[in-house]
Amino acid sequence: MNPSAQLFKAEFFFDNTIHLLVNRYTEDFTVPFHAHDFIEYCYVAEGKGFHHIEQETIPVSKGMLFAIPVGVSHVFRPTSPDAKGNPLIVYNCLFDSHMVDQLTVMLMEQPIQEHLTDLKNRRIPYFSVSDHDGSIESLMQMLYREMTVQGIGSATMLHTLLSQLVVTVFRKNLSNPDKPRSEVANFDQMLQFLKQNMHEAVTLTDLARVSKWSDRHLQRLFQRQTGQSFGSYLQNLRVQKSCELLRSSEYKISSIAERVGYRDIDSFNAVFKKIVGQPPRQYRKLYRLNGTL
């Protein structure tokens, strides 16, 4: 535990019957940097911001889950104090050692039992997974509803849903066992951050400052992980989004260019034609004539 972190204790969060708490919290700047004597799964449900965890600062966006072992210091922060239009909202699933003991009876596979015990005893570092298929979000929503509006059988439902969440997260974390976990996970989070911020003037130096990697190392990672340079990847990301907007909206082309990060319409038209093979106006016209592209 970081000595500067405040300790959150289980006795203030759990009652004596259900050693579990699930909430949906709009992050702000009031919650202190903290650790806790229980396990926490944090799922980013909406918005974007940063996760300060131990000595790292990780850009976060929807679909990212962090598994926080006992004693690990962290806090979420929105992108700015005034983030009313795009708040950072996180589902927090907290459970203590009593719940771990109950779950190990329900969970049949020894590796998952040991995984929970390792989280409880901080024998493994924190980790993160991406919810590409929406399965984690669905489980978090059901847990939150069952926790908020309890009825007959709620305790059983909560135990069952938490078991499913633990297994789902364990499987996702296990899916890439041979990759260097921290670097690959952090780079995936960087790509998510870039996707969420493509409309801004994001540079490689900006990403390097956030990730604490050098510009040169980041460029190598882009080439190795995506097969493209940073500049090419960002161009393709912006053009892909602009194609989606050309098909699905009535925005003017100049407005679409701004929405994907181009302030100069001529530059946007040139890049779009280079990648797609035709100007944006012609792309939209052909899509409307043919109904598909």
Helix axes 230-248, 215-226, angle to 10 degrees: 60
**pLDDT, average across residues 272-278:** 86
Report pLDDT digits (tens) over 56-106.
888 888 999 999 999 999 999 998 777 567 899 999 999 999 999 999 888
Distance between CA atoms of residues 98 and 85, nearest Å = 39
Residue 215: its pLDDT value, please? 83
Distance between CA atoms of residues 161 and 155, nearest Å = 10
**pLDDT, average across residues 179-195:** 71
Residue 146: its pLDDT value, please? 94
CATH match of 6-179 with 2.60.120.280: yes
SS3 43: strand
CB-facing half-sphere around the CA of 14: CA atoms within 13 A: 22
Domain 198-290 CATH (choose: 1.10.10.60, 1.10.3720.10, 1.10.10.10, 3.30.70.600)? 1.10.10.60
Domain ranges across the chain? 6-179, 198-290
Residue 142: its pLDDT value, please? 96
Continuous segment of H or E residues that includes residue 34: strand 34-36
Residues 6+ apart with CB under 8 A from 250: none
pTM of the model: 0.61
- Tokens at 153, concatenated: 């059988």
Report pLDDT digits (tens) over 209-251.
777 778 888 888 888 777 788 888 898 889 989 998 998 888 9
Residues 6+ apart with CB under 8 A from 18: 155, 158
pLDDT cut 70: percent of the chain above it: 92
